[in-house]
Amino acid sequence: MNMIRSPLPSGIPIPDVIDIPVYSAWGNERSLFEKAWERRLPLLLKGPTGSGKTRFVTHMAASLGLPVHTVACHDDLSAADLTGRHLLKGGETVWVDGPLTRAVREGGLCYLDEIVEARKDVAVVLHPLTDDRRILPLERTGELLVAPPSFMIAVSYNPGYQNLLKNLKPSTRQRFVSITFDFLPREREIAVVAGESGLDEARVAPLVDLARRLRALKGQDIEEGVSTRLLVYGASLIAAGLPQREAVMAAIIEPLTDEPEVRAGLTEIARAVLG
């Protein structure tokens, strides 16, 4: 069989007018991102589920006019899924770039969401890209790619899910500039949920109060607190005409647990808070 390379993708065109996702800053994260971009530094975002990490990345990439290559990490994600592999196409063996390789070739932001979920060999691939070398060796094609100035890498994870088997080694963690995310203060979160859902702030406020109450149970009855994302879902259902009680059950209580006793306890708290 003949060995050929598949044509490179043409890249992601950047439109004249970019639709920038709405993001409500809580500190100096915008400035940190911009400075990291200017100095070609890799970025690590850490915080609870639904605290705005992915929204922040897409917001900043759009603000800077960067195409984004997003990878949702999972248990089976390997280094080859990022770099690429040889595939059979029409009787020929063709090399197909993975998302990380495309980002290095074309420039732009490569974002690995929940990096600790991926297999350990993924970190090994990232190491030469996250130091002063900024290179990506491709052993299977014999190439040594040098990342262009327009390339940046960002990763995220939820420290609440860390354990001995899924953790970032110090040798990996210390290759990144780090930003810690958390849920917004009450008034800011009310404004964000109202803006995203279309529900007025007076009706959003009790939902945020409920979320803050339930977040205090994290690590006790529930593994993770209520994300801002779930609040937007619940408020959106209410704005669409669903009764508050049904919306809260579907978008806030049910996603938190499958245990009947825990669900009953969370329902009682919701009734006490919402009336």
Give the pLDDT band (50/70/90) at residue 9: very low
Which secondary structure element, helix H or strand E, spans residue 126, and what is its range?
helix 121-126
Q: What is the pLDDT of residues 31-77, one digit of tens each?
A: 999 999 999 999 999 998 888 899 999 999 999 999 999 999 999 99
Residue 99's nearest CA partner among 89, 91, 108, 88 is 108
- Average pLDDT on 9-35 reads 68
Please compute, for residue 175, the number of CA atoms within 13 A of its CA located in the half-sphere on the CB side: 21
pLDDT band at 90 (very low <50, low <70, confident <90, very high): confident
* pLDDT surpassing 90 at residue 20: no
In tens, the pLDDT along 135-190 reads 999 998 999 999 999 999 999 988 866 554 567 788 899 999 999 999 999 999 99
**d(Cα 248, Cα 244) in Å, to the nearest integer?**
6
Answer whether residue 219 shows pLDDT above 60.
yes
Is 10's pLDDT higher than 70? no
Q: In what order do the strands lie in the sheet with 92-97?
A: 3-5, 92-97, 84-89
- Any idea which of 9-23, 172-186, 199-213 has the lowest mean pLDDT? 9-23
**Which residues fall within 8 angstroms of residue 244, CB to CB, at 6 or more apart?**
203, 238, 274
What integer pLDDT is reported at residue 21 of this predicted model? 76
The CA distance from 11 to 59, in Å, is: 19
pLDDT band at 127 (very low <50, low <70, confident <90, very high): very high
pLDDT at residue 11, rounded to an integer: 42
**Mean pLDDT over the full length of the chain:** 88
* CB-based contact 193:59 (threshold 8 Å): no
| pTM metric for this prediction | 0.82
What is the DSSP code (8-state) at residue 250?
I
- % of the chain with per-residue pLDDT over 90: 71
If phi over 0 gives left and psi between -120 and 50 gives alpha, with beta otherwise, what is residue 107?
left
Pairing between β-strand 135-138 and β-strand 143-146 as defined by DSSP bridges: antiparallel
Identity of residue 132: D
The pLDDT value recorded for residue 19 is 65
CA angle 96, 122, 112 (to 5 degrees): 80
Contact in structure between 59 and 22 (CB atoms under 8 Å): yes
**Quick one: 70 exposed, middle or buried, by C-beta within 10 A (0-12, 13-18, 19+)?**
middle
Q: Is a pLDDT exceeding 50 seen at residue 111? A: yes
Least confident of 11-15, 81-85, 207-211, 244-248: 11-15
